[in-house]
Amino acid sequence: MLFSKVIFAALTFFGAILPHTLAVRYDSGVINKIMTHYGDDIIVVNDNFEICDVDIEVDFEGWVATGHLEIDVTFQSAVKNFGARRLANTLCDAVGEAHVVFDDDGSPNPIGCSSNLVNDGSAIQPAETLDFYNGLSSQGNWRLDLKRLFFGTLNQWALILTPCTNSPTASPTDASSDGAGTGDPHFKTWANKWYDFHGECDLVFISNPKFSQGTGLEIHIRTKARFQYSFIESAAVQIGTDILEVGAYGGYMLNGISNAELDKMDKYTVSHEKVSPKQDVFTIELGKGKQIVVQSFKDLVSVKTVGASLEEYGDSMGLLGEFGSGKWLARNGTVISKADAFGMEWQILESEPKLFQTQRSPQWPMQCTMPNNEKVGRRGLGESIAEAAAEKACEHWGDLKDQCVYDVMAAGDLELAEAGAF
Ligand SMILES: *[C@@H]1O[C@H](CO)[C@@H](O)[C@H](O)[C@H]1NC(C)=O
């Protein structure tokens, strides 16, 4: 297949109005691909820039039986499938050629049973808007599907992307959700999936030696079992050679010095806010609104990323899984299927750096201490706090309400609900 790329002024392209910026055209070239019922074709984009507009030009010929041709485009980056958009549906009883550009700014509702095929390359609106992809990084596979009762030939097609800036090397934007470790402890992988691991030990939360051109980022957490639940009792973040350790009630050390003045970690600004006597928030600013946030609520500690992107975490390993997919990867890259095995895998090894100032048992090769009979003790939950009270206190937690209720009851502490999206 031929891939050619032409940069041209968008203003000249089918009347689309895209001032001040150059669209980049990725063309399949003439492929004349024969498609029966179903066919697809992929254009690979190697450039990486933030997308501000997407148009798709399609040129095909053939017979379309009553009621059904579906044309979809799907974008899959190296780390994530961003899903399909329907360009056209129900292109009825048509014989002949079609040459159209699907453009959010095109003419409305062009394709239907009563209309003729557009064959002059004019711009029409897709069935689902393409601005869906705006803000993503361009790099990846763009696939065009022609399916259902279509017997014909895809002559050629093109993907027209407008970068948000004229720099084709603009840094990639989000390709993943944020990761977190909170509460009881619940972990949220890069793919926005929650799981629990109740082992008591020191664990690798995030490890990315390639962070910031090799400056390196390591985040370790120390979990502790108490009564019927376990929690993160402290977290240590290392950027370059600077280490911030946060524990109960906002107690912290910077490079081993308690309550040291907080200013920078490596070149990144770090700050501490005492939100209330019970809640402390430490924020490391990574630029462009991206952050690492470590919080304590009484003696429970949480860590989360804000605005995570490939740039900081693309190469990271640890309890949040593979960036983008969230797959539970072992150190050797194999996929682990059980949460307990995955948690155990990320216990800090003897050979790995120790970020915490003090040692606490168990340390490798002694394994994480697991609760005796998993969750059995949890039957006693609710003895101190009624479920109804917990539910009420957790009302404002939205999606995470169940988790909040669970934590409040496990910890026997209604105030935990106050901490917001802790
Ligand atoms: C990879 O790591 C997993 C989990 O630690 C282990 O079970 C597996 O045997 C390892 N595979 C290889 C090929 O080393």
> CA 150, CA 147: separation in Å to the nearest integer?
6
* Nearest ligand 1 atom, CA 341: 4
Same domain, 343 and 216: yes
Domain boundary pick from 97, 128, 163: 163
Whether 382 shows a pLDDT value over 70: the answer reads no
> What is the structure's pLDDT at 302?
92
Same domain, 141 and 189: no
Looking at the structure of the chain, the number of domains it has is 3
Strand order across the beta sheet in which 202-208 lies = 202-208, 217-226, 229-239, 242-246, 252-254, 257-258
Instruction: Examine residue 175 and state whether it is found in any structural domain, yes or no.
Output: no
Whether 112 shows a pLDDT value over 80: the answer reads no
> CA 238, CA 253: separation in Å to the nearest integer?
12
Nearest one of 177, 345, 299, 316 to 237, comparing CA atoms:
316
Instruction: Examine residue 375 and state whether it is found in any structural domain, yes or no.
Output: no
Same domain, 420 and 329: no
> What is the structure's pLDDT at 237?
98
Per-residue pLDDT band at 96 (split at 50, 70, 90)? low
Instruction: Examine residue 170 and state whether it is found in any structural domain, yes or no.
Output: no
DSSP state of 370: P
DSSP string covering 17-61, please? --TTSEEEEEE--S--EEEEEEEEEEEEE----BEEEEEEEEEEE
Considering only CA atoms, which residue is closest to atom 1 of ligand 1? 332
CATH number for the domain harbouring residue 20 = 2.60.120.260
Question: Could you tell me the pTM of the whole model?
Answer: 0.59
Considering only CA atoms, which residue is closest to atom 13 of ligand 1? 332
Instruction: Examine residue 343 and state whether it is found in any structural domain, yes or no.
Output: yes
Same domain, 14 and 109: yes
> What is the structure's pLDDT at 94?
53
> CA 95, CA 9: separation in Å to the nearest integer?
33
Instruction: Examine residue 94 and state whether it is found in any structural domain, yes or no.
Output: yes
Tokens describing residue 347:
């216990």
Among 13-22, 78-87, 217-226, name the most confident range: 217-226
Q: Which residues line ligand 1 (CB under 6 A)?
A: 330, 332, 334, 345
Are 276 and 145 in contact by the 8 Å Cβ rule? The answer is no
Compute, in angstroms, the gap from residue 345 CA to the centroid of ligand 1.
9
Domain boundary pick from 135, 163, 191: 163
Instruction: Examine residue 168 and state whether it is found in any structural domain, yes or no.
Output: no
Whether 206 shows a pLDDT value over 90: the answer reads yes
CA 274 to chain centre: 29
Select from 332, 344, 345, 367 the residue to mutate for testing ligand 1; criterion: most ligand atoms less than 8 Å from CB: 332
Strands 123-124, 94-107: parallel, antiparallel or unpaired by DSSP? Answer: parallel
Domain boundary pick from 163, 189, 210: 163
Q: What is the mean pLDDT of residues 250-277?
A: 95
Compute, in angstroms, the gap from residue 354 CA to the centroid of ligand 1.
23
DSSP state of 261: P
Same domain, 293 and 352: yes
> CA 180, CA 177: separation in Å to the nearest integer?
10
Instruction: Examine residue 374 and state whether it is found in any structural domain, yes or no.
Output: no
Considering only CA atoms, which residue is closest to atom 14 of ligand 1? 332
> CA 28, CA 40: separation in Å to the nearest integer?
12
Are 230 and 343 in contact by the 8 Å Cβ rule? The answer is no
Whether 93 shows a pLDDT value over 50: the answer reads no
Compute, in angstroms, the gap from residue 102 CA to the centroid of ligand 1.
48
Compute, in angstroms, the gap from residue 134 CA to the centroid of ligand 1.
39
Tokens describing residue 108:
């409305």
Same domain, 86 and 55: yes
pLDDT digits (tens, 9 = 90+) for 237-255: 999 999 999 999 999 999 9
Q: Which residues pair with 150 in a beta bridge?
A: 64
Q: Name the residue with higher pLDDT: 230 or 1.
A: 230
Whether 41 shows a pLDDT value over 60: the answer reads yes
Instruction: Examine residue 99 and state whether it is found in any structural domain, yes or no.
Output: yes
Q: What is the mean pLDDT of residues 320-327?
A: 89
> CA 412, CA 422: separation in Å to the nearest integer?
16
Amino acid occupying residue 349:
L
* Nearest ligand 1 atom, CA 334: 1
Are 21 and 160 in contact by the 8 Å Cβ rule? The answer is no
Same domain, 197 and 154: no
Q: What percent of the chain clears pLDDT 90, i.e. is strictly above it?
A: 39
> What is the structure's pLDDT at 174?
40
Are 260 and 254 in contact by the 8 Å Cβ rule? The answer is yes
Q: Is 245 exposed, middle or buried (0-12, 13-18, 19+ CB in 10 A)?
A: buried
CA angle centred on 205, ends 178 and 311, rounded to 5° = 50
Per-residue pLDDT band at 122 (split at 50, 70, 90)? confident
Per-residue pLDDT band at 228 (split at 50, 70, 90)? low
Same domain, 24 and 150: yes
* Nearest ligand 1 atom, CA 333: 1
Compute, in angstroms, the gap from residue 332 CA to the centroid of ligand 1.
6
pLDDT digits (tens, 9 = 90+) for 139-196: 999 999 887 656 678 889 999 998 887 443 333 334 467 888 887 778 988 887 888 8
Q: If residue 211 lies in a helix (H) or strand (E), which one and from where to where?
A: helix 211-214
User: Positive or negative, the Cα torsion across 49, 52, 58, 64?
Assistant: positive
Whether 347 shows a pLDDT value over 90: the answer reads yes
* Nearest ligand 1 atom, CA 336: 4
Per-residue pLDDT band at 343 (split at 50, 70, 90)? very high
Among 35-44, 109-118, 148-157, 407-416, name the most confident range: 35-44
Domain that holds residue 420: 381-422
Same domain, 99 and 224: no
Same domain, 254 and 284: yes
Tell whether omega for the bond before 362 is within 30 degrees of 0, i.e. cis: yes
Tokens 């980056």 locate to 77
* Nearest ligand 1 atom, CA 332: 1
> What is the structure's pLDDT at 11?
27
Compute, in angstroms, the gap from residue 366 CA to the centroid of ligand 1.
18
Same domain, 159 and 217: no
* Nearest ligand 1 atom, CA 345: 5
> What is the structure's pLDDT at 384?
57
Compute, in angstroms, the gap from residue 360 CA to the centroid of ligand 1.
26
Compute, in angstroms, the gap from residue 337 CA to the centroid of ligand 1.
12
For 218-230, b where at least 16 C-beta lie within 10 A, e where not — what string? bbbbbbbbeebbb
Same domain, 275 and 230: yes
DSSP state of 77: -
Counted residue by residue, the chain has a size of 422
Q: Name the residue with higher pLDDT: 387 or 316.
A: 316
Compute, in angstroms, the gap from residue 336 CA to the centroid of ligand 1.
9
Select from 204, 319, 334 the residue to mutate for testing ligand 1; criterion: most ligand atoms less than 8 Å from CB: 334
